[in-house]
A and B are shown apart, each in its own frame.
Chain A
């Protein structure tokens, strides 16, 4: 019974982590929508502007991965293994 409770504790903790990471992904998408892609369907757009958009988009997703890494380390070392 005690082992079962611990299993569900770890599982729920990882599910919460996945939910936060998913929420952050949606937040990054909203950020990109508001700031960068409002006219993303427009066919003709200046190439430098397009390039800057792609670079900011890639940067935002790298930041998302970095936050994901930090959150996982916090979960493992400060909560699950404490």
Chain B
């Protein structure tokens, strides 16, 4: 048990170190390639380098690789996770460079799950509350591919305010870390701790007022790592419950837009911004989002909305832990 604590601690510290070291490089690349995003919720709409998430992906992956090597963990799992995350990061980087087809993007993200399937590093026996272990030999690989697409897009969809994706994801990783530790799933524990360390190390750059955006490269690779942790650690249901706010945000956007459509085609924005305060658009034509629910008839500053999102994430994480402790042990 003690070795698991050392493993988790090593993963957190190494990923934080490599993320911090990679931040200047990702900032330089953003500026060099002119990958700048408008911070739309600020009065002067400043331009911010938007591929900072590259540092999160680099930090988490280097740390995972080092910990897997140091603690002699399964190299096939490491290869699968690296390939899946790098595929998602490449898709994100491409989307940061140019807009992607809204239907093609989820299909491409599903491909990020292929290394996990092809290397056979999954267990088609997911645990459900009350039911216990199930057998899903045929459908499980398809669910893994769908999971990569849904979770990556869900995490991407919450990246709308300074610090929102990074902080809510770090909170949502907490139950995954605890359950991996309790179940002795060391590979999942190493990956969870590595991702957590990378996200926490990135918060100072991305919190309000952001100096660096995570970008699609960061949010999609974070989503791919979340899915890999869920599949390899066999903690699929815990992950879904911990990510309920993010998944809710994604599904409501898709439902209210009537399918997978480009955000540029939305006629009514979900929120309005006035003097730095965010308030929900009252039109029924506007997409339903989590930020719109929080700011309905309620003007809030950007950082206060992010605090609300963090509280919601913490609440979902608590529900995930309750589910595990009461109904899945």
| A interface secondary structure, majority | helix
CB closest residue in chain A, given B143? A58
Pairwise interchain contact A10-B284, C-beta atoms closer than 8 A: no
Give A80 to B293 CA distance when docked, in angstroms.
7
- Interface segment, B100-108, B126-134, B219-227? B126-134
Bitwise interface map of B from 272 to 310 toward A, beta carbon under 8 Å scored 1, else 0: 000000001010100010101111111110001000100
Pairwise interchain contact B308-A18, C-beta atoms closer than 8 A: no
Pairwise interchain contact B295-A14, C-beta atoms closer than 8 A: no
Give A68 to B204 CA distance when docked, in angstroms.
35
Q: Contacts A30-B130, A37-B134; is A6 near B245 (CB within 8 Å)?
A: no
Residues of A close to B294: CB separation below 8 A: 7, 10-11, 14
Pairwise interchain contact B241-A40, C-beta atoms closer than 8 A: no
Set B129, B135, B139, B288: member contacting A76, Cβ < 8 A: B288
Residues of A close to B255: CB separation below 8 A: 69
Set A14, A69, A80: member contacting B251, Cβ < 8 A: A69
Give A51 to B315 CA distance when docked, in angstroms.
35
Give A76 to B280 CA distance when docked, in angstroms.
10
The size class of the interface chain B forms with chain A is 35 or more
Is the C-beta of B31 less than 8 angstroms from some C-beta in chain A?
no
Pairwise interchain contact B128-A32, C-beta atoms closer than 8 A: yes
Residues of B close to A58: CB separation below 8 A: 139
Is the C-beta of B60 less than 8 angstroms from some C-beta in chain A?
no
Q: Contacts A7-B300, A29-B131; is A68 near B251 (CB within 8 Å)?
A: yes
Give A82 to B223 CA distance when docked, in angstroms.
35
CB closest residue in chain B, given A14? B293
Give A49 to B50 CA distance when docked, in angstroms.
50
Pairwise interchain contact B296-A81, C-beta atoms closer than 8 A: yes
Give A25 to B129 CA distance when docked, in angstroms.
9
Pairwise interchain contact A10-B298, C-beta atoms closer than 8 A: yes
Q: Contacts A18-B244, A18-B316, A72-B252; is A40 near B293 (CB within 8 Å)?
A: no
Give A30 to B288 CA distance when docked, in angstroms.
30
Q: Contacts A32-B128, A72-B248; is A40 near B135 (CB within 8 Å)?
A: yes
Pairwise interchain contact B293-A10, C-beta atoms closer than 8 A: yes
Set A19, A72, A73: member contacting B319, Cβ < 8 A: A19
Bitwise interface map of B from 236 to 253 toward A, beta carbon under 8 Å scored 1, else 0: 000001001100100110
A18-B316, A26-B327, A40-B132 given; 10 more Cβ-contact pairs under 8 Å: A14-B293, A18-B245, A25-B129, A29-B327, A30-B130, A54-B138, A68-B251, A77-B284, A80-B280, A81-B296
Please list the residues of chain A having a beta carbon within 8 angstroms of any beta carbon in chain B.
3, 6-7, 9-11, 13-15, 18-19, 21-22, 25-26, 29-30, 32-33, 37, 40-41, 45, 50-51, 54, 58, 65, 68-69, 72-73, 75-77, 80-81
* 27 A–B pairs (Cβ distance < 8 Å), ordered by A: A3-B299, A3-B300, A6-B298, A7-B298, A11-B311, A18-B245, A21-B244, A26-B323, A26-B327, A29-B129, A29-B130, A29-B131, A32-B131, A33-B130, A33-B131, A37-B131, A41-B132, A54-B136, A54-B138, A54-B139, A65-B251, A68-B248, A72-B288, A76-B293, A76-B296, A80-B293, A81-B297
Q: Nearest 8 pairs between A and B by C-beta?
A: A80-B296, A6-B298, A33-B130, A29-B129, A37-B131, A33-B131, A29-B130, A22-B319
